[in-house]
Chain A
Amino acid sequence: MNLQRRTTLKTGGSLALIAAAVSAGVLPTSAFAQWNKNAFDAKNLNDVVKAMGGATAEKSNDIAITAPDIAENGAVVPIAVASKLANVESIAILVEKNPNSLAATFDIPAGTEPNVGTRVKMGQSSNVHAVVKAGGKYYVATKEVKVTLGGCGG
């Protein structure tokens, strides 16, 4: 939460825009969290964790990544992450060898299951990391996914 406020203040311009949108009734009052540009620009796991407000991520066996060992097409690689850790606050999906590592983040409010999925692009075979923030700390699990056709192929 703190982190969000910090990022928001740094980019005051768009904050004003969002505020205007909210008051105009365009957005639900819950509003969209400010997009974490620093995290999405980061080039590796450590930098992503830092941009999300952590220091390092500890390896954990309580995070399960469901993804194919081999993806036929890197343009669409299904990735699901489930965690047995207590008090999960967020889940992030990273592709190590993509130009920018972070693909997506999910905030998990109380009552929402620590179990999310989406599909990502992979330019080449790579490790996929799932970073879970739980009880204020960051944890990570990793799985390799081979790609037979890069995310930009025909």
Chain B
Amino acid sequence: MSDPMRIRAQLKDGGVTEVRVLMAHIMETGLRKDASGATVPAHFIQSITATHGSKTVLNAQFGPAVSQNPVMNFSFKGGAKGDKVTVSWTDNKGAKRSDEATIA
């Protein structure tokens, strides 16, 4: 089960839309040991795609070194107030999550 992302998309001067994405994910490195000494298997978001309408505005790949509950910032041109920005991720265990925000 994964919790929703929090996506903030704001239109700034110069027609640039600034996007900040908070994702709920453990981002387990695969190096940590639990209380019993067993290695906790790696579990992390690998790929992220952000789209504005039909256009992909960002593709990102994460390794396990991205912090727990990842934060990501980027910005793109061509967005207008009221448009939707959709962000999706998949992790190394095949879990997925997709959420959208309206540009404000």
Chain A residues proximal to chain B, CB less than 8 Å: 26-28, 30-33, 35-36, 40, 75-78, 80, 95, 98-100, 102-109, 111-113, 115-121, 152
Contact = CB atoms under 8 A, between A and B. Distances in A.
A98 B65 contact: yes
Interface residues of B, number: 38
B49 A112 contact: no
Contacts of B92: 35
A119 B49 contact: no
B73 A33 contact: no
| Closest A-B pairs by Cβ, 9 of them | A32-B47, A117-B73, A103-B65, A107-B59, A119-B67, A40-B63, A112-B76, A35-B46, A30-B56
A100 B96 CA distance: 24
The listed residue with most B CB atoms (<10 A of its CB), out of A78, A80, A119, is A119
A75 B98 CA distance: 26
B47 A118 contact: no
Interface of B is mostly: strand
A120 B60 CA distance: 14
Interface in B33-58: 46-49, 51, 55-58
Contacts of B68: 75-76
B72 A121 contact: no
Contacts of A100: 63-65
A105 B48 CA distance: 10
A33 B78 contact: no
A109 B77 contact: no
Contact of B74 (A33, A35, A98, A113): A113
B16 interface: yes
Contacts of B57: 109, 111-112
22 contacts: A26-B96, A28-B51, A36-B61, A40-B61, A75-B67, A98-B65, A100-B63, A100-B65, A104-B66, A105-B60, A109-B55, A109-B56, A109-B58, A111-B57, A113-B75, A115-B74, A116-B60, A117-B71, A118-B66, A118-B73, A121-B29, A121-B65
